[in-house]
């Protein structure tokens, strides 16, 4: 367990640092530091998402009995991936930091002019990314201990399905990179937006009804009877995990309404409400 955790602690930061260096020094790219940090962070997130969803697919398709069957990847990848969430909090802060510097709040050498400015950046980051930081902290402090200790080897199928929620992440990352380069009106951005909407709906929102349905089929219960047949704390945990997904899905839908609205047309619905 410790070896996999330490491997994850080294893997994600080293990938980020290597990508930043390559994006800034590669002859055909030579990105500015701000651009390199953003693109590198999204590439690392996409790599993690591909690994997680692949591991999740292998685990979920290998477990024929959804309660008792086990697969070594379920615990191995969980231990390896936990450091990613810690790293990503820092990577998101770096992206926010460099945006702050570009807006002219830093000194001539790119450093903050005063300690108060540093705390202002930190407060701005936590205000903007509060839900994501809370989500990542919960993954490390709550979900990881529960998946390793509380499960006691049961339910690898469900854990595998949860890992497959990361299928939508590469589309989210590509969308942010395209926005950074002001490519919102390109065909690529529209196609990516549609794929992001579909994958997020299927793999993050509809995932929870599917898990309830899968348990109901296993236990011989109709879908609507499953919440009453399982412990209350399981329902509470599922609700807490689903709540931010619904909020983010609302934001994606609102963005999709803006993206596919004909130019020059008035805002026809509440999904175009301002931020």
Is 233 within a domain? yes
Does some domain include residue 36?
Answer: yes
| Residue 201 lies inside a defined structural domain of this protein | yes
- Within a domain: 120: no
Q: Quote the radius of gyration of the chain (alpha carbons, Å).
A: 21
Residue 158 lies in a domain: yes
265 inside domain: no
Residue 201 and residue 256 in contact, taking contact as beta carbons nearer than 8 Å = no
Least confident piece of the model among 25-29, 220-224, 265-269: 265-269
In a domain? residue 106: no
Position 152 scores a pLDDT of 81
Whether 270 maps to a domain, the answer reads no
pLDDT, mean of residues 228-246: 94
Average pLDDT rounded to a whole number, residues 59-85: 94
Q: How far apart are CA 108 and CA 140, in angstroms?
A: 37
Residue 201, pLDDT above cutoff 80: yes
Q: Determine the structural domain holding residue 168 and report its residue range.
A: 1-100+125-258
Q: What is the pLDDT of residue 255?
A: 86
Number of domains in the chain: 1
pLDDT digits (tens, 9 = 90+) for 12-65: 999 999 999 999 998 687 888 889 999 999 999 999 999 999 999 999 999 999
């Amino acid at each position: 367990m410790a070896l996999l955790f330490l491997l994850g602690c080294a893997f994600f930061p080293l990938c980020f640092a290597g990508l930043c260096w390559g994006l800034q020094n590669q002859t055909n790219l030579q990105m500015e530091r701000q651009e390199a940090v953003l693109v590198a962070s999204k590439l690392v997130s996409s790599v993690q998402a591909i690994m997680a969803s692949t591991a999740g697919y292998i685990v979920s398709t290998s477990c024929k009995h959804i309660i008792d069957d086990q697969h070594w990847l379920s615990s191995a990848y969980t231990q390896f991936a936990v450091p990613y969430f810690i790293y990503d909090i820092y990577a998101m802060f770096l992206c926010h930091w460099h945006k702050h510097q570009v807006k002219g709040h830093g000194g001539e050498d790119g450093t903050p002019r005063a300690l108060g400015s540093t705390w202002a950046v930190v407060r701005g980051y936590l205000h903007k990314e509060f839900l994501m930081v809370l989500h990542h902290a919960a993954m490390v402090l709550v979900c990881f201990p529960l998946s390793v200790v509380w499960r006691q080897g049961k339910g690898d199928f469900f854990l595998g399905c949860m890992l497959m929620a990361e299928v939508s992440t590469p589309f989210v990352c590509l969308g942010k990179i395209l926005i950074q380069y002001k490519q919102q009106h390109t065909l690529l951005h529209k196609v990516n937006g549609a794929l992001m909407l579909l994958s997020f709906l299927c793999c993050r929102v509809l995932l929870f009804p599917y898990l309830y349905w899968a348990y109901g089929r296993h236990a011989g219960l109709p879908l609507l009877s499953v919440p009453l047949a399982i412990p209350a704390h399981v329902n509470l945990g599922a609700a807490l995990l689903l709540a931010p997904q619904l909020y983010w899905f609302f934001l994606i839908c609102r963005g999709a309404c803006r993206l596919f609205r004909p130019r020059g047309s008035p805002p026809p619905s509440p999904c175009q409400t301002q931020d």
